[in-house]
Amino acid sequence: MVTLNVRCLQMLIFDVPEVKLFLLMIAEIILYLIAYLCNRENKDMYIRLFKVSVLMTLLYYISSRI
C-alpha cells in the first residue's frame, strides 16, 4: 500500500506539467530570495531577473499547453 502511494506521488510530480511548473516556480523564488538576501546592494538586478524568470516560466507553460 505504501509503495502504491509513493508511486502515485511520483507520477503526480513528474507526469503532470502543472505540478512541475509549480515546483519550478517555487525553486526560482527560493533561489532569488537567497541571492537577494546575500547581495542587497544590487536588489534591482535580482528583481529584474525574477520578473524575467517568471515570464519565461509562463511562456513554458503556455507552449506546453499548445
DSSP the chain: -HHHHHHHHHHHHHH-HHHHHHHHHHHHHHHHHHHHHH--TTHHHHHHHHHHHHHHHHHHHHHHH-
Nearest C-alpha neighbor of 23 from the set 60, 66, 63: 60
pLDDT digits (tens, 9 = 90+) for 5-37: 666 666 666 666 677 777 777 787 787 777 777
**Average of per-residue pLDDT values in the chain:** 71
What gap in Å lies between CA 61 and CA 58, rounded to an integer? 5
Supply φ then ψ for residue 39, to 5 degrees.
-140, 80
pTM for this prediction: 0.49
